[in-house]
Amino acid sequence: MKKIYVLSVLVLCMTGFSLNAKLYKWVDENGKVHYSDKLPPDQIKHAHETLNDQGVVKEKVERDLTDEEKKAKAAEFKRQREQAKQEAIEAERLEKERNAILMSYSSADQIKRLKQERISAIERNIETAKSNLVIQEKNQKDLMSRAADKERSGEVVSDVFMSQIEQIKDQIKFQKQFISDKTAEIITTRTKYDDELAKYLAFTGQEKAENVAHKKQ
């Protein structure tokens, strides 16, 4: 019955309509559907549809937003715009990073080789520093022993002698700090090359192949 009523209303409303005539459809606050060739003023700000003479929807007009909804919509638009901006910046950064990685290395094996060479060089520096440290600590021990002997024998320990002891202390301090710094450098070097290797594999599409190889091992 409802369908018959709607069709009847459409037929009645469109009777005598010209091809350019408009038919409006809206639903009131009670949920009742209305059809008319004129849209009541109190419905202009509410949702409604414009139909053609065949009863086909030509245009849908959404209701006016409330002030709160307008603010929320503006805030969402701003958020989306900022997100798009950040995504564009990130895409540009990744492209620059990709170009830099691919220009720096020709293969994954090259990255692995450079990593090992750099770490080996640092380890050699550490071993040299440790050897020097042993010598310097021995020299310090000897100087301190000689200074103690002089004091026991009643001799005055000269300023030059004390200066030598201070110099050797500074050298020992320097070597210890050098060893500490180089030990930390090994960690940062390993991290750097591992990170660049991962990026190289990802940028060249070899990441999956590398993962499969590790699983087989």
Q: What secondary structure does DSSP assign to 143-196, as a single string?
A: HHHHHHHHHHTTPPPPHHHHHHHHHHHHHHHHHHHHHHHHHHHHHHHHHHHHHH
For residues 111 and 203, what is the distance between their CA atoms, to the nearest angstrom?
14
- Say if residues 118 and 193 touch (Cβ distance below 8 Å): yes
Residue 22 pLDDT greater than 70, yes or no: yes
Residue 48 pLDDT greater than 80, yes or no: no
Quote the percentage of the chain above a pLDDT of 90. 52
- Give every CB contact of residue 101 below 8 A, 6+ residues apart in sequence: 196, 199, 200, 203
Rounded to two decimals, what is the model's pTM? 0.59
Mean pLDDT of 146-173: 90
- Tens of pLDDT, residues 86-103: 999 999 999 999 999 999
Of 27 and 210, more confident: 27
For residues 22 and 32, what is the distance between their CA atoms, to the nearest angstrom?
20
- Give every CB contact of residue 118 below 8 A, 6+ residues apart in sequence: 189, 193
Which pLDDT score is estimated for 50? Answer: 81
